[in-house]
Amino acid sequence: MGHAYTPGLKVSAAAEFTRSRILPIPGDVLVSLGDETTPDTVVARALLPGNVTTQNIARQLGIAPADLDDMLVVKEGDDVTTGEVIAKSKGIFGMFKQEVTSPATGIFESYSRVSGQAIFREPPIPVEVKAYVAGKVTEVMPELGVDVTATGTMVQGIFGIGPETGGPIVVATEDVAVELTPEMIHPQHKGAIVVGGARAPLATLRHAVEVGVAAIVTGGIDAADLKELLGFDLGVAITGNEDVGLTLVVTEGFGSLAMSQKTFTLLSRAAGQVASVSGATQIRAGVMRPEVLIPGDIAAIEETAVDSGLMDIGSSVRIIRDPHFGSLASVIELPPEPAALDTEAAVRILTVTLPSGERVTLPRANVELVDEAL
């Protein structure tokens, strides 16, 4: 076999990208087909049902549940506030009256004449979905959401954490191999997407959080620093919901790894432009990559090897497993027959050359395509 198919990382100055913006429950779509969007455009909105609180009114009044009708001073569906009297007992000879107050602010939804239990529902929780990127609405899914499509620069990373965010691109280092230090991040970088070089150590990440940096894009990160930042060992999971104060996109891998020159050049050219960034990562089924999207006009969409997934002799790949994790390489052999590993498992393999000239044979699953010529 002279070629194979494998997923890869898209790094292009002329890409088209479509992002689906979907509500968690049915609601209202607020834009129309063809509408222009900014990253902050609210494209859909829904109301999540409020939290439910229960209370046994009959037990608190010391009466039979069947007698509740005569004791309530509110009706089903009425608005109530915390501490408001909702039921009163008649007492004995006008004395020893009991009162029950609402445990929550919201709606007195219902009560049972069998159990005496009442249900209170807090106000609904509004949920809004924003466009995330500056583009155009290309598909509308009634009551659910829309697709937003844009063209421009697209850089996918190998790993990331943190939610969707955005801001102007700021390049803090002059070289791909330079470490991003705390001294390179200044108060004026608040809300910015700061692009570093080979590594962003823990001190830099914490300083960036203090400054209010929206996101950091760097070549590498130490696993120990990531664990310290998160407060736990991430393991194998879907990322993107971490609340650490910023979004992080790692373009190369774990360790001190110089950012790809192509990636660095594209981001440097976009300095000052507004980018949309997401740290969401899923390596296994349904692959998601952290990304930096910089919308802009392009002459034509660039089709690359990553788009087709076709890996052939001469293809550029990145090794995504130790001991060469993060290294770029060029494919020189794609043997058609499976080969036995040290674990005795038979898998399809390939042989690559590293920038140093070293030849390495490894499973095909241990590499991914990259849009960069070596």
Which residue from 192, 232, 187 is spatially nearest to 210, judged by alpha carbons? 187
Instruction: Report strand pairing: 328-333 vs 339-340.
Output: unpaired
Task: Look at residue 1 in the predicted model and tell me its pLDDT.
Answer: 44
Q: Which among 38, 109, 65 is positioned nearest to 274, based on CA atoms? A: 38
For residue 194, the cross-strand partners are: 170, 216
pLDDT at res. 307? 75
Q: What's the rounded Cα separation, in Å, for the pair 215 and 257? A: 19
Contact between 150 and 295 under an 8 Å Cβ cutoff? The reply is: yes
Query: For residue 236, what pLDDT is reported?
Result: 61
Q: In the numeric block, which tokens belong to residue 63? A: 């009466």
Residue 263, amino acid? T
Q: Which residues contact 186 (CB under 8 A, 6 or more apart)?
A: 211
Q: What is the pLDDT of residues 14-60, one digit of tens each?
A: 999 999 999 999 999 999 999 999 999 999 999 999 999 999 999 99
Best CATH choice for the domain 52-121 from the list 2.30.30, 2.40.50, 2.60.120, 2.60.40: 2.40.50
**pTM, 2 dp:** 0.82
With 0-12 / 13-18 / 19 or more C-beta atoms within 10 angstroms meaning exposed / middle / buried, residue 142 is: exposed
Q: Residue 122: what pLDDT?
A: 96
Q: CA-CA distance, 51 to 48, in Å (whole number)?
A: 9
* CATH hierarchy code of domain 313-370: 2.30.30.30
| Domain span(s) for CATH 2.40.50 in the chain | 52-121
Structure tokens at 138: 């290309």
pLDDT of res. 280: 94
Positions in the chain short of pLDDT 50: 1
Query: Which residue type sits at 247?
Result: T
Provide the phi-psi class of 189: left if phi over 0, else alpha when psi is between -120 and 50, else beta.
Answer: alpha
pLDDT at 282: 84
| Beta bridge partners of residue 99, listed in sequence order | 88
How far apart CA 249 and CA 259 sit, in angstroms, is 11
SS (H, E, C) the chain: CCEEECCEECEEEEEEEEEEEECCCCCEECCCCCCEECCCCEEEEEEECCCEEEEEHHHHHCCCHHHHHHCECCCCCCEECCCCEEEECCCECCECCCEEECCCCEEEEEECCCCCEEEEECCCEEEEEECCCCEEEEEEECCCEEEEEEEEEEEECCEEECCCEEEEEEECCCCCCCCCCHHHCCHHHCCCEEECCCCCCHHHHHHHHHHCCCEEEEEEECHHHHHHHHCCCCCCCCCCCCCCCCEEEEEEEECCCCCCHHHHHHHHHCCCCEEEEECCCECCCCCECCEEEEECCCCCCCCCHHHHCEEECCCEEEECCCCCCCCEEEEEECCCCCEECCCCCEECEEEEECCCCCEEEEEHHHEEEECCCC
Tokens describing residue 362: 């490894």
Residue 187 has what pLDDT?
A: 97
Give the per-residue pLDDT at 302: 84
The pLDDT value given to residue 112: 95
Instruction: Delimit the CATH 2.30.30.30 region(s) of the chain.
Output: 313-370
